[in-house]
Chains A and B, each alone.
Chain A
């Protein structure tokens, strides 16, 4: 009986550790993420910005001036992003385009 209780407690503790590990792994893998906005730098190139100023949008292109990142864990941190990458991010619902079009000047 005592051994049974001991095993039960051991098993319960291990179960809690497994669940806790799963939750902790979630926080750990979510560390390297690109948070903020992807701004249009023209010629099909985009860059990461932590915040954007709408005044910096120059309406020289009919494409969105910036995209808000909705799912940071899915956007890798890079120097720049191509239009094809942005299209893929948008089709997956990871970014959302701004209402203003143009090139970001800053």
Chain B
């Protein structure tokens, strides 16, 4: 009986240690993820922009034709048709470069571009809900609301990454 009690106590102690270790491991991993999140967001932007930019360039004539039918921006269809995908690809390449400073510089226009897309999506969803966007690839299959939420999430993530990266730079400068 005494032996059994002793074994149970040992088992409980091992469980407690394991739980503490697991919690410690989990918190370490979460901290690692949180620290790496800004960089992950940067790479996410790079992936998104290379994907949509290349898709638009592959079907540039369709993209230009689609833009030409949009009121107000229609007159700049050719410029937008070539400019937006080229800018997206350029930003994607800059964001994927292994230099933190370049990443940080490229992240700003990337987030601003996302903001412009949100402005465009909001306008289109209010005034031309039956039209679909020429946003490239599977993103085109989203409806306006889903697309807007998707872009807003990316905008939020981008702002978070900018703030976090700037904070990290300040901390490094102080050290």
A residues near B (Cβ < 8 Å) are: 8-9, 11-12, 14-16, 18-19, 21-23, 25-26, 29-30, 70-71, 73-74, 88, 91-94
Contacts and interface: CB of A to CB of B under 8 A. Distances in A.
Contact of B50 (A14, A19, A30, A92): A19
Interface of B: 43, 46-51, 54-55, 58-59, 61-62, 65-66, 68-69, 92-93, 95-98, 130-132, 134, 137-138, 140
Contacts of A88: 130, 132
Given A29-B138, A71-B62, A23 B50 contact: yes
Contacts of B48: 22
B69 A93 contact: yes
Nearest to A12: B98
Contacts, number: 77
Contacts of B58: 26
A12 B58 CA distance: 26
Given A21-B47, A26-B54, A92-B134, A70 B62 contact: yes
Given A92-B131, A92-B132, A19 B46 contact: yes
Contact of A25 (B51, B66, B96, B130): B51
Contacts of B62: 70-71, 74, 93-94
Nearest to A74: B140
Nearest to B57: A26
Contacts of A15: 43, 46, 95-98
Given A11-B98, A73-B55, A93-B65, 13 more contacts: A12-B98, A18-B46, A19-B46, A19-B92, A22-B50, A26-B54, A29-B137, A70-B59, A70-B61, A73-B137, A91-B130, A92-B66, A92-B131
Contacts of B50: 18-19, 22-23
A68 to B, nearest CB: 12
Given A19-B92, A26-B58, A71-B59, A93 B66 contact: yes
A94 B63 CA distance: 9
A94 B50 CA distance: 22
A18 B96 contact: yes
A29 B55 CA distance: 10
23 contacts: A9-B98, A12-B97, A18-B96, A19-B47, A19-B92, A19-B93, A19-B96, A22-B48, A22-B50, A22-B54, A23-B50, A26-B51, A26-B54, A26-B55, A26-B58, A29-B138, A30-B55, A70-B61, A71-B59, A74-B140, A88-B132, A92-B131, A93-B68
